[in-house]
Chain A
């Protein structure tokens, strides 16, 4: 009996010992990937490059939305009310935004996420099994994404910390203005030189994308000559053209057209690559064309003065809703109350409630044409070439061409700015062209806003200042 007892006990103990003698504290990973298995071939590297693209295309709906609002609300291009978003809009409109504002909290980390992924890709292209063709193309795409991300950051915040490798220290001080510019130009130029003219995957960077971004970058940094020549390079390439009508540019059936040099592709089913500007445009009682469309509580509105500014026959005015009827036929008046609706982006027939898949343009060919005209005008005053470029855009809008003789350098500059206001309504570009012509703050002050020169840049997010002792906030915040 005694032995029997011991045997039972020992056998259970042995069972227990056997179970625990494997290396018990090794942490085995099942649902995530380790660098040693992921980053050794094209397929693995591409998945990270795709993540970089996801951020470069604005990682989610709110990034896109805040990018547009940052460009249009402080510059007085539109206004809005309703919803919990209203108080955040008010801060933009009134120049009372601070370092905790949604614009800065959303955009700063998004762009740096793209930079992180681009750096991971660039850090891991040394594997000998990768073809040089692949390495060259992938390097160009990653540098494009990094350059584009830094362009955006520079535009919003001025010089920022430069991270060019995943191995960089996490805590870095701001770069100098010269370092910042060098980084942007180098990345985008390198990308331009190696990227293909076209891609069969719409949304990937092409040579034209890099050229388009460089054009806009030169323009915004008032490097007029470089801007003019880069724009003309694009025009002369013949790779891009205006769509025949203004509404074709944004129509669903026409997505992927060749007016887009750099465009953010969206899809209502993607979960994050979404557009929701319609949900902040159409009122709840507006009869929506598809039962699957939905809207939110807040509205963006255009001022009556803006509606009035259009020249007769301008087709671009047609996307603005001035009055409409509810489903039961009750007429609703928007114009007259500064509440016209910027209905530029049509409802997505495949929308999942507010989740729409409209692609969003960043650089389109009409912008290249107007950029060429603007740069030429700044370099050498009004020229026929400049006016011709503008007239291409006006012709598509079905309005009369400009005549060179009617313009001085100054008045053509104003005409281009006005043309941009019409052409790029609700695309978030107003701040840029007002800034580069020193109108951003003065316009705001003349509207009665308490804007100062410090407001040309947005504040760096407070959480970033808190986490980085080397980082100095922009003045005035």
Chain B
């Protein structure tokens, strides 16, 4: 028996009967209140007008389907659907319509947009006297009962239970319970529920059968959220990845973007710092811009948010002022993640818009893809209270081995004499006095706690629906004195004011308290504890006898504990996001909508560098406070019109105007020589005003945009979408304020074509072309302005100076990305296997490029529209329900992406060096014909052996063959972007037990390891070194060594960026494992459901990379990647509980 009616049947019907139906005048329209905030359509309120004469019921249902989001499901046997009806209905609710169509002979159930037609069962079959009297006792005992739930134990009311091969069936009640009398004790029952896979159970004499249903891997008629609207997934013409929060075993996550990691094809998400609350780098279909941002636009419930980095370190943010920061021990290049202020528990779903058809509606902000985040909203019906909590601990996954104290002493006694210095540890008494020494990594790391409590309430009251939540999250970093605490509250409210007006309101308010790490890209005395722990002399003690921090006379780096305990670095961020919408339906088919939003954040960062550090000591402490006030306001007006011209043609048109203004204000002040370290940053007025610095900044920018989109559907077969956005930005030249971003897409549903094998339940090809832009270049780039220059000292006084900030480029305009996409959506084997395949080619032209100028002009570069970058690639997504039995299910989701990035043109400039690291120099190159940020350095083909010029030195390859190692021998030696990224998620469910594990993998990426450089080319001979490099060093007796001798390393040829310091950063990581148990709560009055679980994150990583994390990037979101004392990856084990009341 086929409960789910396949669309193909409809089509055959329509085609054969088409001619007759055309005669019938049909007016069918629908208005639904829909919003961009959510798929919050109240389908029960959908109004339908039908005007038909003598028309088959199937045909009437078809028309309702083709013009509304409603979908009918029924068993063909329960009713004669070929009956004809003559109806004239004007704006009636769906309930009434169904009742009239079927003349009250069928029951129905409405679940979201799904209408399930059922045989009318007027009374409960259980305890039915009629049965008792008519049937014998044997048959009475064939009554079975039980409950039907989802995998989390939530009851599924309205699920259908049918005795297989008969029309005997029943639906479950409000609590998911059913009782069914069966005719045969060996019968098989079939349980169905929309959105879930059917389950067949052999009764085999059982009386109580509880059934847990598993959601259909991918529901084809799911609604997906798009820019300024929604669309049926089957009608989508763009490349969109949809993630439902329920499908993601999130584990301990701080920010929403972490939820997406590894789960969407074409999206590379790298945790550039594993510090709690640290930033992520997101590349949707590759890096398209050299100098403008490559991060996607985030739209939360229809509100595009400003997600640029917040204050980093003690001085300056990306948009702000540089300035000398004497507190720079705490400079941390990895900015906080702005999405920390969203509670991951509030997320209903995430859509990632990838191709131009999907993103062009966001115009100048769409080129890097768009992430649409939809938060949960209240449902109709009874109040739902959810409480989720977990607690766990984290530990470092992989401490990087450095030499032990004894190895260190042996090493120094070997190496220092080779460099002309005395061997320091030859004296046995010296050695025994040192003893075990200090394991510095042991000192700075800890087992860290993580805690989360989340309480949410949702439900409907009268004409209002509400979702409200409170979240408390605390995560300690595995490096001491780091961590994050979050307090987040949300209210989402929707109210029907009248039949024509709906309003809604969202408020998200958050307080984030960060205890920031101290490591960044700085070196020597400006570096932090992680850096220090890798190279500090292990023969040194932590403390002096008097309890102060010891400091080696041989080193000019800080004792790692002195920076860990002696630098105070915290920040506090308050962010409130609110938006309000009003929908107005003046006439059928037309929705006018106003959307207003505001996003305000205030951040303050306090850094105190105490006397315990090398920098803080001499100046009596440095106190530094930076504040950032950031706000954005949105005003938006859209008109949405849907009309069916006849049964074949449906048009949906959208137009709108949107205005968004962004403001930043920064104030920073620091002062030195505080009377005591105890005051930290709380009394700057007590510092020495001869040594203070103040700076402030204010800037604004504005977007004013006009947008339009048309969706046209022909016979539910040909899908066409065209959109355009005219975007005006204050950031561009006076004649180039406006950019125009068109897109076109065509989809063709092949499923019903004769030449398509029946195995396909769905087959759709789609293609799109369009243009998007990028305007993330900072403000004022088109104007000549004067800003603060370096100080001068004249007449014994420090005087401020002003200098030209840039050359003006009044012709500065949009960067344009043109993208072609060809994709296939398919479903086979009764939807057991579904998936998509996409090919794309993205060409970014008129690139916003800091065109290098000769420094002789007085300027290093001018921001220009020059050059081209191409990204092309293939994405696969496969979801498979491998095994589906009542007791056991196994499903797999697999995604894979391969992207090729190539710089095609730099406007006549051959190459640009980039990625400067202190004491290393430029690490990377942007060069025509190669990926952005390729590593540029020297090739090493081994170690020179005895008899060679310099035994023990690395042998650099003379590429030019001229006999010398010169800069001409440097070449591109690696690519920071991977060849392949993929993710695999497996989910098993056995009765009440669930198991899932998620593997994330990156293949073919390189990463420059600055810590290896620090070991190979130590800035101070007495520093410790990575064990791999020091212990497998070349010696006359270890001639097969991988690493050079380590003696006189500053006299090696070539340079520090070479094939020894560049490493393969491929990895396969078990990102998440979760084992859960649904506690049976049938008898509980308290719980609706209760689930407990144990979960592990980052349990293992397979990689050849020497370092904390092959995914790290000390440059944060940059396309240039280096690993420099990055915050170590943590593995987390936790237990959790989800309770629904």
Chain A positions near chain B (C-beta within 8 angstroms): 1-2, 5-6, 8-9, 12-13, 16, 19-20, 24-35, 38, 44, 47-48, 50-51, 53-55, 57, 59-60, 81-87, 89-90, 98-100, 108-109, 112-113, 115-117, 119-120, 160-161, 163, 166, 168, 170-172, 200-204, 256, 265-267, 269-273, 284-285, 290-298, 326, 351-355, 357, 461-464, 466-469, 471
**B1017 close to chain A: CB less than 8 A:** yes
Complex alpha-carbon distance, A397 and B77, angstroms: 117
Q: Which residues of B contact A82 (CB under 8 A)?
A: 1019-1021
The residue from A1, A119, A269, A351 contacting B498, defined by CB atoms under 8 A apart: A1
Given known contacts A32-B786, A87-B1017, A273-B793, A467 and B853 CB-to-CB distance under 8 angstroms: yes
Task: Name 19 A/B residue pairs within 8 A (Cβ), A-sorted.
Answer: A5-B498, A8-B582, A9-B592, A20-B635, A28-B700, A32-B805, A48-B786, A89-B1050, A112-B857, A117-B804, A170-B859, A204-B795, A270-B793, A271-B693, A271-B791, A464-B855, A464-B856, A467-B855, A468-B854
Given known contacts A12-B582, A33-B785, A54 and B858 CB-to-CB distance under 8 angstroms: no
A13 touches B690 (CB 8 A): no
B268 to chain A, nearest CB (A): 30
B852 touches A467 (CB 8 A): yes
B803 touches A172 (CB 8 A): no
B690 touches A269 (CB 8 A): yes
A467 touches B791 (CB 8 A): no
The residue from B525, B792, B908, B1052 contacting A51, defined by CB atoms under 8 A apart: B792
Complex alpha-carbon distance, A172 and B855, angstroms: 11
**B594 close to chain A: CB less than 8 A:** yes
Q: Which residues of B contact A204 (CB under 8 A)?
A: 794-795
A297 touches B790 (CB 8 A): no
Q: Which residues of B contact A265 (CB under 8 A)?
A: 793-794, 796
A261 to chain B, nearest CB (A): 16
Q: Which residues of A contact B324 (CB under 8 A)?
A: 271-272
A295 touches B556 (CB 8 A): yes
B555 touches A284 (CB 8 A): yes
B555 touches A59 (CB 8 A): no
Q: Which residues of A contact B701 (CB under 8 A)?
A: 27
**B553 close to chain A: CB less than 8 A:** yes
Complex alpha-carbon distance, A464 and B852, angstroms: 8
Known: A1-B498, A47-B801, A86-B1050. 19 other contacts (CB 8 A): A9-B592, A26-B730, A29-B780, A29-B785, A32-B785, A34-B786, A35-B786, A87-B1017, A90-B1051, A116-B859, A117-B803, A266-B793, A271-B791, A284-B556, A296-B525, A297-B524, A352-B691, A466-B852, A467-B853
A370 to chain B, nearest CB (A): 27
A464 touches B1020 (CB 8 A): no
**B402 close to chain A: CB less than 8 A:** no
Nearest A residue to B860 by beta-carbon distance?
A109
Complex alpha-carbon distance, A266 and B796, angstroms: 9
Complex alpha-carbon distance, A269 and B620, angstroms: 14
Complex alpha-carbon distance, A414 and B524, angstroms: 42
A466 touches B909 (CB 8 A): yes
Complex alpha-carbon distance, A99 and B624, angstroms: 38
**B337 close to chain A: CB less than 8 A:** no
Complex alpha-carbon distance, A408 and B740, angstroms: 81
Nearest B residue to A266 by beta-carbon distance?
B793
Nearest A residue to B911 by beta-carbon distance?
A466
B794 touches A172 (CB 8 A): no
A35 to chain B, nearest CB (A): 6
Q: Which residues of A contact B699 (CB under 8 A)?
A: 30-31
Q: Which residues of B contact A16 (CB under 8 A)?
A: 594, 596, 635, 637, 659
A66 to chain B, nearest CB (A): 14
Q: Which residues of B contact A83 (CB under 8 A)?
A: 524, 1019-1020
Q: Which residues of A contact B803 (CB under 8 A)?
A: 48, 51, 113, 116-117, 120
A353 touches B792 (CB 8 A): no
Residue-wise interface mask of B (536-577) relative to A, using a CB-CB cutoff of 8 A (1 in contact, 0 not)? 000000000000000011111100000000000000000000
Nearest B residue to A283 by beta-carbon distance?
B553
A119 touches B792 (CB 8 A): no
B727 to chain A, nearest CB (A): 10
**B929 close to chain A: CB less than 8 A:** no
B525 touches A294 (CB 8 A): yes
Nearest A residue to B861 by beta-carbon distance?
A467
B786 touches A25 (CB 8 A): no
Stretch from B209-217, B442-450, B514-522, B611-619 forming part of the interface with A: B611-619
Given known contacts A82-B1021, A294-B525, A461-B855, A13 and B785 CB-to-CB distance under 8 angstroms: no
Complex alpha-carbon distance, A35 and B803, angstroms: 10
**B248 close to chain A: CB less than 8 A:** no
B801 touches A285 (CB 8 A): no
B791 touches A270 (CB 8 A): yes
**B463 close to chain A: CB less than 8 A:** no
Q: Which residues of A contact B798 (CB under 8 A)?
A: 267, 269-270, 273
Complex alpha-carbon distance, A471 and B854, angstroms: 9
B702 touches A25 (CB 8 A): yes
Chain B positions near chain A (C-beta within 8 angstroms): 321, 323-324, 326, 497-498, 500-501, 523-525, 552-557, 582, 584, 586, 592, 594, 596, 614-615, 617-620, 635, 637, 659, 661, 672, 690-691, 693, 696-702, 704, 728-731, 737, 779-780, 782-787, 789-796, 798-805, 807, 852-860, 862, 908-913, 918-922, 966-967, 1017, 1019-1021, 1049-1052, 1056
Complex alpha-carbon distance, A468 and B804, angstroms: 21
Q: Which residues of A contact B909 (CB under 8 A)?
A: 466-467
Q: Which residues of A contact B554 (CB under 8 A)?
A: 284-285
B525 touches A353 (CB 8 A): yes
The residue from A31, A44, A161 contacting B698, defined by CB atoms under 8 A apart: A31
A25 touches B737 (CB 8 A): yes
Q: Which residues of A contact B854 (CB under 8 A)?
A: 161, 170-172, 464, 467-468, 471
Complex alpha-carbon distance, A24 and B798, angstroms: 40
Complex alpha-carbon distance, A172 and B594, angstroms: 55
Complex alpha-carbon distance, A32 and B803, angstroms: 10
A97 to chain B, nearest CB (A): 10
Given known contacts A27-B731, A29-B785, A55-B790, A5 and B615 CB-to-CB distance under 8 angstroms: no
B618 touches A284 (CB 8 A): no
B858 touches A116 (CB 8 A): yes
A464 to chain B, nearest CB (A): 5
Given known contacts A29-B783, A471-B854, A353 and B618 CB-to-CB distance under 8 angstroms: yes
Q: Which residues of A contact B553 (CB under 8 A)?
A: 284-285, 326
Given known contacts A54-B791, A295-B556, A352-B326, A9 and B594 CB-to-CB distance under 8 angstroms: yes
A50 touches B619 (CB 8 A): no
A50 touches B794 (CB 8 A): yes
B500 touches A170 (CB 8 A): no
Nearest A residue to B789 by beta-carbon distance?
A51
A50 touches B525 (CB 8 A): no
Q: Which residues of B contact A352 (CB under 8 A)?
A: 326, 618-619, 672, 691
B805 to chain A, nearest CB (A): 6
A353 touches B556 (CB 8 A): no
B319 to chain A, nearest CB (A): 11
Q: Which residues of A contact B1056 (CB under 8 A)?
A: 87
Complex alpha-carbon distance, A469 and B906, angstroms: 14
Complex alpha-carbon distance, A84 and B522, angstroms: 13
The residue from B852, B856, B918 contacting A160, defined by CB atoms under 8 A apart: B856
A280 to chain B, nearest CB (A): 11
The 7 closest A-B pairs by CB, nearest first: A116-B858, A201-B795, A84-B919, A292-B618, A271-B324, A51-B801, A170-B857
The residue from B497, B729, B921 contacting A25, defined by CB atoms under 8 A apart: B729
Q: Which residues of A contact B784 (CB under 8 A)?
A: 34-35
B800 touches A47 (CB 8 A): yes
Given known contacts A48-B786, A353-B525, A81 and B796 CB-to-CB distance under 8 angstroms: no
A89 to chain B, nearest CB (A): 8
A20 to chain B, nearest CB (A): 4
Complex alpha-carbon distance, A352 and B919, angstroms: 22
Complex alpha-carbon distance, A256 and B795, angstroms: 9
B552 to chain A, nearest CB (A): 8
Given known contacts A32-B786, A48-B803, A463 and B913 CB-to-CB distance under 8 angstroms: yes
Q: Which residues of A contact B790 (CB under 8 A)?
A: 51, 54-55, 59-60, 271-273
